[in-house]
Structure formats: C-alpha cells, structure tokens
Amino acid sequence: MSQSDRGLRRLAAGTLLVAFQGTTAPDWVLRELENGLGGVTFFGFNVADPDRLRSLTASLRAAGEPVISLDEEGGDVTRLAYHVGSPYPGNAALGAVDDAELTHRVYRAIGSELAACGINLDMAPDADVNTEADNPVIGTRSFGDDPALVARHTVAAVQGLQSVNVAACVKHFPGHGATRVDSHLAIPVVDVTLDVLRARELVPFRAAIGAGTKSIMTAHVAVPSLTGRTPATLSPAALTELLRGELGYDGAVITDAMDMHAITKSVGLAGGAVLSLAAGSDLICLGPLPTYDDVRHIIDEIVAAVRDGRLPAARLEEAAARLAALRAWFGSAASPSVEQNGVGLHAARRAVRLTGAMEPLVEPLVIEVDTPPTIAVGDVPWGVGPWLPQAEIIRVKPADADVPVLLAKATDRSLVVVVKDAHRNEASRELVSALVTARPDTTVIEMGLPIWRPDSAAYIATYGAARANAQAAIELLTA
C-alpha cells in the first residue's frame, strides 16, 4: 500500500466510531486505533464497574487518541448504571422541576463521573421537543413539549457536561420529538413545514449552538419539507444547508447509530456511511451490531467512494480537522473529581408529584405492570422493590394478569400499582383500571410520562423510571 493509500485509509478510518462486545478491547480495535480509527462508543454490556471501565479507556488511549463515548442521559437511558438503574433522574423530571441551575448541577455530576472513568464525549442531552405523546423512542428522555423550556435546559445540560471537559452531543437533529415510529425499526417522518420546524424542533438546537456544544447528533428521521424521503443523517439539505449554513454550526456532527433499521434496511451500513459523510457528518457511529469485517468493508467503501468521485476527499479532511479540534479541547483541562453529592436524588425528590391522599401502608402488595423496554433504553432494571423491602412485589404482564387473583391477594392490605407510560399501552390501562375500580383506595405510581391517570385514591408521578425516581416515590409513599 502506497503512502497516499495509507493516508486515505487513515482518513476514512478516522470517521468511524465503533462498538464491540465485552469489557476489554479486542485486538482489532487497538490495532485500528493505531491506524487512525476515530473512536469507540460503549453500551451497557461494556460497563462492569468504574475501575474496569477506567482500565478499558486507558487501554484505548494507549493505542491512539480516540473519541470515547456513550449514551449517559440519566433517567431511563444509562450506560454507567445499566445493571442497577441511574442515580440521576432523566430530562422529563428535570423539565418538570424547571430549574436550569439544577439541570446544570445534575449534568455536571454526570460529566464528572464520566470523566473519572475516561469518557470524553457524552451522547447527551436529548434536545427533542416531545410534542407527540405516543412517541415510542423519546418520551421521558425529553425535557418537555415546550420549545423554550427544552432550549433552556438543553443549554444548562451542555454547559454542565462541558464544565468538566466532557463534550456534549446534542440530539437528535433536526428533532425526533414529533414522531410515532422508532428509527431503530423504520424511518420516522416529521411532516411539518420549515416554519414549524424552525419555531419548534430547531429552537433547542439553535440555543445549544449558541452555548457552544462540541457536537450534535443526527436523527434518522425524514422531514419531507426539508429532506424529502431521505433521513436527515443522509441529507445535505439537513446537515450542510440547514445545520452548517442557516444555523452556522461548525462543531463535530455525529450520526445516530448506523445499524438502526432506518439505515440498514434502506441504503445499508457502508452505503449509509458514504452518504452521511457526503451530506456533512464528521463521525459515523456504527452501533453494537457491526463486526470487524463490517468495519473493514465500510472503510474500504469510503476509500472507494473518494476514488470514484462520490465523496470528495476534502470532506474527509474537513471531518478530520473538526475531530482534531475536538481532541485538542479534550486535552485542555485536568480530569475533575467525582462530585455527585446526592444531586440526583435531590432532583428526583423535587420532580415527584402526588395527587390525592394516601393512608399508612398495611402489609403492602405492590403490582408492577411490566412494560417492554425500548431499544434505546435497553433492559435496565426499574421498579420500587429496593426501597420497599416490607412489601410483597409481583411483576405482571398486562395480558397475563388475573385480576380476581390479584385482588384476592390484596384483601385487607394496601394496594400499590406501578406502571410505566400507561398512556402508550392499552392493556396496561385496562389492568390498572380494573384494579382501581375494585379498590378505589389504590395508590398508582406512574414511572413514565403522567399523561393518563386512573381515578385512584392517590397518584404519584415520577417523570422517569431511574433508581432515583423510584426512591423519591417511595419516600413520598411512606412519609
């Protein structure tokens, strides 16, 4: 391979953010980092404990200058606390409190934990304006449905993370909040005019750019008035004309995971990588599914696209320059100390809401209504069990629940029903309604968005299912 060929391959590899299985780095990842690979992104299965994560990130840094990233939003979407649930409430809870200084403190604490583990980029905050109640992928990940509220908390989150030298990655541009389809499964459509997009979806992104966010993540959503049928991740109109041109953004643009069906079922991994780079992205996040063979194929396809004119070499050089600037910023400050200081629980306590009146608990029976996790969240534990050890807790699937049997077990006992996003699940609503009709003294705890509520004696809204949210709810229940 000639020197020019090696240089081109290095530029191509530099645009990739790869993932791998396990808690140690495979040899191929270390080897590719030495050859210019852009970086890695972690998922829950990569994180065992802080010490092992520090060892992992140190091994990656020894091989190159990688972007080391993960999705740590707090709330339902957590990687550091994937196996136990997050100690921080998510954005919906922070939006419900609506104290931007508190949001800054929470994200500064999250950033401190990440920096202490060697993470230099957090794929957060979620800046989507959640205007669609039946949104299957955003929901409690959003600060709310008001553009101005979402904007001020997005700014606070960006500044909180970046105050401890962890780059923010504001997502999902140009907005995923008005969708009813999960882009992990298909291409969602945001069918609004450009005027609506500017007045609603783009408000938080414009604010984040003003606040100096170091990166922005693209969404695999089509906006017919802007991108036609093409997902924004692959659209020059979205990434070059709107984001770079109209909004004036010159930081790093990172794609959402390219192994999502919105991409793989339309243009494929390698084809999507080339199209996205040509559209204006700088770093291609591949997600957890692609293998090393896939990674090599994508690099080869990027090189081939430059050679045959589909992708200007100048685009790769521009991406490399932006990532070099990002790496220089990473190295501009000392690592901070962890400063959690209970701010997560404090925020969750401020967010929790009680409607109605509760009686003291008597041999409580807790029925947790099972809710399938979304792909973005993964199988993170949730529920109230750790904070209510005196209770009998039953986890039921709505379709399989035997209401008479459950009511019989609850005879002469306090009945507590825990649900998550009941407004999105008819079977959950029917089960809760049947229980509450028979037992009007039931306390219902909603650990998703409190959009639907039954006529129960007491109703507790947590605005999220993180560990901190559950603890705050039980403190209220047992006060």
Q: Is the dihedral of CA 455, 458, 461, 466 positive or negative?
A: negative
R_g of the chain computed on alpha carbons: 23
Look at residue 427 in the predicted model and tell me its pLDDT. Answer: 93
- Give the CA count within 13 Å in the CB-facing half-sphere of 44: 17
Burial of 265 (0-12, 13-18, 19+ CB in 10 A): exposed
Q: Tell me the residue ranges of DSSP E strands in 214-280.
A: 215-218, 252-254
Q: Given the structure tokens 């992990």, which residue do they identify?
A: 184
Q: Which of 256, 259, 370, 421 is catalytic?
A: 256
Known catalytic membership, residue 256: yes
- The backbone torsions φ and ψ at residue 24, rounded to the nearest 5 degrees and listed phi first, read -130, 155
Q: Kindly give the parts of the chain with pLDDT less than 70.
A: 1-3, 182-183, 262, 333-340
Please indicate, yes or no, whether the overall pTM of this predicted structure exceeds 0.85.
yes
Look at residue 134 in the predicted model and tell me its pLDDT. Answer: 81
How far lies 177's CA from each of 71, 148, 173, 188, 405, in Å?
A: 18, 14, 10, 10, 40
Bridge-based pairing state of the strands 167-173 and 458-461: unpaired
Beta bridge partners of 126: 171
| Cα–Cα dist 479/475, whole Å | 6
Q: DSSP letter at 222?
A: B
| Cα–Cα dist 170/405, whole Å | 47
Look at residue 132 in the predicted model and tell me its pLDDT. Answer: 84
Bridge-based pairing state of the strands 392-396 and 39-42: unpaired
End-to-end CA distance of the chain: 71
The three-class DSSP label of residue 330 is helix
The three-class DSSP label of residue 29 is helix
Look at residue 266 in the predicted model and tell me its pLDDT. Answer: 74
Look at residue 458 in the predicted model and tell me its pLDDT. Answer: 95
| Cα–Cα dist 322/312, whole Å | 16
Helices within 352-447 (DSSP H only) = 403-409, 426-438
Helix axes 343-351, 467-478, angle to 10 degrees: 60
Q: Which of 184, 220, 282, 423 is catalytic?
A: 184
